[in-house]
Amino acid sequence: MKEPLLLDGKQVSSSIKDELKGQIDVLKKQGITPKLVTILVGDNPSSHTYVQMKANACKRIGMESERIYLKSETTTEELLATIKKLNEDDQVHGILLQHPVPEHIDERQAFDAITLEKDVDGVTSHGFGSTAFQLNAYPCCTPAAIMEMIDYYQIPIEGKHAVVIGRSPILGKPVSMMLLNRNATVTISHSRTENLEEIVKQVDLVVAAVGKPRFVKGEWLKEGAIVLDAGYNQGNIGDCDYDSCYDKASAITPVPGGVGPVTIAMLLRNTVLAAEQKVSMNAMKIV
């Protein structure tokens, strides 16, 4: 079998960012600079790294970013008050609450406190429902990144059988809906699914989003399957056993350098779109 197509997230991300720079230049001429605010509760080292990466990405394309650090002892009520203040700030176009938050905080309540117009990470219940029904909302960034890579590499998915391994509300479930809306036949599975190996052997496309290192084995795959690994575990390891999957796949994402860079690019895109939407709304008010 020939070498699989390497789905290069860095290349896709660069293409998106190049487009965004032009959109940002137009906004700046109108006196608007897209601004993303990230809230980090606690001192999770990985979360600090992710927040810094997002801030750096904003700076590189001319966006503004702000990081709000809250102590681990922060209550749900205090976090909600912070979100409310940002919702009311006209200079802020996107709000991102870094996951995970400390266990004593009601994360779902906090996510849902973000106004839909600023939910650029697609984490609210309203946003999830709107995405599922193909209404106007910003999609979750990692699922959107997966779909962006499928489009960039012109991977046919209509009528194909896809399995999504993972059921999180910000990854597995929304990407399942997105694939379904694009006429794929979708099986939603997870780490407790019985006979998962047999299910994976039947499908054309595998989305691994289970949060377990090297969980998906190459021997599970149908010959020529497409593998999109959305996992990122300690040691830069994905949810797929890359080497064995590489030998069976027709196309595969690396980890790192696959879905991850595109996820950040989608966050930037959503924030720029939110800023453009704000300008449009302001123009309508003037008229």
Q: What are phi and psi of 146, to 5 degrees?
A: -60, -45
If you search the block for the tokens 């499928």, which residue do you land on? 150
121 is an active site residue:
yes
E-state strands within 115-270 = 161-165, 185-189, 205-208, 226-229, 251-252
98 is an active site residue:
yes
Catalytic residue among 8, 112, 119, 121: 121
How far, in Å, CA of 115 to CA of 132, rounded? Answer: 18
Check residue 187 and report its DSSP letter: E
How far, in Å, CA of 94 to CA of 41, rounded? Answer: 17
Chain-centroid distance, C-alpha 61:
19
Q: Residue by residue, what is the 3-state secondary structure of 246-281?
A: HCCCCEECCCCCCHHHHHHHHHHHHHHHHHHHHHHH
How far, in Å, CA of 204 to CA of 157, rounded? Answer: 9
Catalytic residue among 8, 35, 98, 173: 98
118 is an active site residue:
no
Catalytic residue among 17, 54, 118, 173: 54
The catalytic site residues sit at: 54, 98, 121
